[in-house]
Amino acid sequence: MPQRDGYFTIPYYIRLMQRALALGYRFQTFPEYLKKPEERVILLRHDVDVSLEYALELARLEERLGIISSFFVRVRSSLFNVYEAINTERLRELAAMGFEIGLHEEVGWFTADYAEVIKLMKEDKNSLERILGKPINGVTTHVPKWNPIKITPDVLEQTGFKYDPGGELFNQDAIFVSDSNKCWKKYSLEETLGRFDKILASLHPVWWVGEIRDPANLIKLLAEGK
């Protein structure tokens, strides 16, 4: 959809979230929704593709606004290293603030062999759990259209994950909005507020708090699995 000036800035993000709260939306993580779903709800998800620094900056903002969300983190990105001390601390601070952390997995990115995918997902799940000292329940796919192996219920069962945010349970009777590649898809989040009671919003921290002068180049890097 056409974009307009003022999208993808912190002031606009604050206005969006404040409007959602004023309209009576409750923010829930995916596990919270599974336990007791709210009637008017936003399931806010952040795929951490580029930087844990950006993710933490956005989380601190959301904490001040009084909202909660879920962050799905890549373990095999060449753009940041989850094992680096500063990133380990960022992950732990995210968790300490109450934000959910899940795995953003390159399913099938390195191999199309089913058994190898299961092995890689288990390894990445264990890596995040060792860092955080707590279970990782959710997993979502990085660049799903290029991945030959999908996260099915069977894959979830074999790898020990509880859910995929793209699953039918969360998407039933919901509207999905995304800022993928710094461009709203069919609807912007602003357009859905007040029109739909259940909103799944996939917003990427890099587009809101990152200083990216050349989005096209970054988009290309991500598409290449960087």
Q: Count Cβ neighbours within 10 Å for each residue of 14-41 and write b for 16 or more, e otherwise.
A: eebbeebeeeebbbbbbebbeeeebeeb
The answer to whether 121 and 141 are in contact (CB under 8 A) is: no
Chain centroid to Cα 66, Å, comes to: 18
The answer to whether 68 and 60 are in contact (CB under 8 A) is: no
Per-residue confidence (pLDDT) for residue 4, from 0 to 100: 45
Domain spanning 10-223, CATH class: alpha beta
Nearest to 199 by CA among 168, 172, 162: 172
- Round the average pLDDT of the chain to a whole number and report it: 89
- Per-residue pLDDT averaged across 5-14, rounded? 81
Per-residue pLDDT at 170 exceeds 50: yes
Per-residue pLDDT at 2 exceeds 60: no
Q: Which residue has the higher pLDDT, 40 or 166?
A: 40
Residue type, 119: K
d(CA 201, CA 178) in angstroms, rounded, equals 6
Per-residue confidence (pLDDT) for residue 181, from 0 to 100: 81
Q: Which residues contact 180 (CB under 8 A, 6 or more apart)?
A: 202, 204
Per-residue pLDDT at 165 exceeds 80: yes
CA dihedral for 46, 185, 139, 48, sign (positive or negative): negative
d(CA 155, CA 122) in angstroms, rounded, equals 10
Give the number of other CB atoms < 10 A from CB of residue 107: 26
CA dihedral for 66, 132, 52, 122, sign (positive or negative): negative
- Per-residue pLDDT averaged across 20-25, rounded? 98
Per-residue confidence (pLDDT) for residue 186, from 0 to 100: 85
- Per-residue pLDDT averaged across 26-39, rounded? 95
Of 85-99, 118-132, 138-152, 193-207, minimum mean pLDDT range: 138-152
Query: Would you list the domain boundaries of the chain?
Result: 10-223
Beta strand 198-202 with 41-48 is: parallel
d(CA 149, CA 92) in angstroms, rounded, equals 30
Per-residue confidence (pLDDT) for residue 3, from 0 to 100: 45
Phi, psi angles (nearest 5°) of residue 139: -145, 135
